[in-house]
């Protein structure tokens, strides 16, 4: 029986074998403007088994509603760059940031982050927090719109992951050692707010699938096991236990060196993880990961899309075939690239983009060719 995209993911995530492995893939809006990208999107819309975001808790800025938000261009060098000042007004006070935007870069760079001083951090820690809100009607409308073509999933804020991204690395990692008591007070306050609000939201019938983006900044080379045990595990487990209390599941997005943390992540309640990068981008051995946690966590990924600029379609197909053969038997695996848009976000010459798009197509086609159950080893 041919399954819907949603059924296929749910079956694999339940550690059962669907009709074929789920294939998670999308390409950037920039890539879709190419003729090959237009054709590829037709294939993606027909064959891809993706997770799509739906509304959940209104987290604002670290759990504080944003009363006023402004963006102002404070410097403009035509043809070179511009700079923006960002202002957020919250119950914890005003927070400002400055970003630098090169004209030929799709990304931006921080010149000043929102939490620039320890006093800023104290305001986040000591200001009383109200329960978070949600909009059930918007959640229902979005889930109904998605239907069976994808798996609806709710993004969940991770206070420590958000903190690391909104403070300089030098400051936040110094606070782990120099301001331990304050760090614990912040994590206790922020995670209590999320856990209690999440409990109320799930009692209201909203769920059951959640996603979080945080842990790639909470692993080596930045954080080792001692800090992870103290500042990550207990607070994450408290929130994750709420999700499991209502039969829900949580997926983590985690680049980098996570191999030595997979069992601990499963112990603290992570039910799925992606993109499981192998060397040199990460340290994941997919066969060993399947052996260690493949019965507890759905594994998604392991195809190095950063190599799509120079790999051949034949090489991509071989990488896909190997990943399927070691991780797909028994369910609990989805095919996914290491990059969220399969390597198509880069600004590259047209001939290079054509090669990348050909490799994305090879990735999808190999998943269809080799991913039918039962898997042939």
Q: Domains of the chain: which residue ranges?
A: 5-63+129-370, 65-115
Name the band, by pLDDT with cuts 50, 70 and 90, for residue 376.
confident
pLDDT for 222-235, tens place per residue? 999 999 999 999 99
In angstroms, the CA 298 to CA 270 distance is 9
Quote the percentage of the chain above a pLDDT of 70.
100
How confident is the model at residue 29, as a pLDDT? 93
How does DSSP assign 164-206, residue by residue? HHHS-HHHHHHHHHHSHHHHHHHHHHHHHHHHHHHHHHHHTT-
Asked if 189 and 125 touch (Cβ cutoff 8 Å), the reply is yes
Q: What is the mean pLDDT of residues 203-207?
A: 98
Assessment of whether the complete model's pTM goes beyond 0.85:
yes
Taking the CA atoms of 252, 353, 23 and 283 in sequence, report the sign of the dihedral they define.
negative
> H or E segment at 25?
none
pLDDT at 27 over 90: yes
Average pLDDT, the chain: 96
CATH domain 5-63+129-370 topology: TIM Barrel (3.20.20)
Name the band, by pLDDT with cuts 50, 70 and 90, for residue 3.
very high
How confident is the model at residue 288, as a pLDDT? 98
Residue 217 exposure: Cα atoms within 13 Å on the Cβ side: 18
Asked if 299 and 286 touch (Cβ cutoff 8 Å), the reply is yes
How confident is the model at residue 335, as a pLDDT? 98
pLDDT for 296-354, tens place per residue? 999 999 999 999 999 999 999 999 999 999 999 999 999 999 988 999 988 889 999 99
Q: What is the mean pLDDT of residues 112-120?
A: 96
Q: 210 - beta bridge partners?
A: 154, 250
pLDDT at 105 over 90: no
Q: What is the mean pLDDT of residues 135-155?
A: 98
How confident is the model at residue 1, as a pLDDT? 80
Q: What is the mean pLDDT of residues 79-89?
A: 95
Residue 146 exposure: Cα atoms within 13 Å on the Cβ side: 21
In angstroms, the CA 307 to CA 310 distance is 6
Q: What is the mean pLDDT of residues 13-24?
A: 98
pLDDT at 119 over 80: yes
Name the band, by pLDDT with cuts 50, 70 and 90, for residue 104.
confident
Name the band, by pLDDT with cuts 50, 70 and 90, for residue 13.
very high
How confident is the model at residue 274, as a pLDDT? 98
Q: What is the mean pLDDT of residues 30-34?
A: 93
In angstroms, the CA 254 to CA 287 distance is 18
Q: 274 - beta bridge partners?
A: 253
How confident is the model at residue 377, as a pLDDT? 66
User: Based on C-alpha coordinates, what's the Rg of the chain?
Assistant: 21
pLDDT for 42-68, tens place per residue? 999 999 999 999 999 999 999 999 999
CA angle 23, 275, 309 (to 5 degrees): 80
């Amino acid at each position: 029986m041919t399954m819907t995209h949603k059924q296929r993911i749910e079956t694999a995530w339940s550690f059962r074998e669907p009709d074929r492995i789920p294939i998670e893939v999308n390409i950037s809006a920039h890539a879709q403007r190419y003729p090959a990208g237009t054709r590829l999107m037709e294939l993606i819309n027909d064959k891809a088994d993706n997770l799509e975001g739906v509304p959940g808790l209104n987290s604002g800025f670290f759990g504080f509603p944003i009363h006023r938000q402004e963006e102002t261009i404070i410097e403009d060098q035509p043809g070179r760059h511009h700079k923006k000042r960002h202002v957020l007004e919250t119950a914890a006070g005003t927070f400002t940031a400055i970003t630098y935007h090169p004209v030929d870069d799709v990304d931006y760079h921080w010149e000043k982050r929102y939490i620039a001083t320890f006093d800023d951090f104290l305001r986040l820690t000591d200001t009383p927090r109200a329960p978070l809100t949600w909009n059930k009607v918007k959640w229902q409308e979005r889930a109904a719109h998605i239907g069976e073509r994808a798996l609806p999933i709710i993004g969940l804020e991770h206070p420590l992951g958000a903190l690391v991204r909104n403070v300089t690395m030098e400051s936040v990692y110094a606070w782990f050692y120099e301001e331990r008591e304050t760090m614990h007070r912040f994590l206790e306050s922020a995670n209590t707010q999320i856990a209690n609000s999440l409990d109320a939201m799930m009692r209201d019938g909203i769920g059951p699938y959640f996603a979080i983006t945080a842990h790639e900044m909470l692993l080596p080379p930045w954080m080792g096991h001692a800090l992870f045990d103290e500042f990550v595990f207990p607070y994450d487990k408290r929130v994750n236990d709420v999700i499991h209390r209502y039969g829900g599941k949580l997926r983590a997005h985690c680049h980098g060196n996570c191999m030595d943390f997979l069992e601990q992540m499963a112990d603290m309640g992570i039910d799925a993880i992606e993109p499981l990068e192998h060397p040199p981008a990460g340290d994941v051995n997919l066969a060993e990961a399947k052996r260690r946690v493949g019965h507890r966590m759905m594994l998604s990924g392991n195809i190095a899309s950063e190599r799509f600029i120079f790999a051949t379609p034949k090489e991509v197909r071989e990488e896909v075939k190997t990943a399927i053969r070691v991780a797909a038997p028994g369910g609990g695996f989805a095919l996914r690239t290491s990059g969220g848009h399969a390597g198509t976000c880069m600004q590259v010459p047209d001939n290079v983009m054509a090669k990348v798009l050909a490799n994305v197509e090879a990735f999808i086609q190999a998943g269809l060719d080799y991913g039918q159950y039962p898997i042939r080893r």
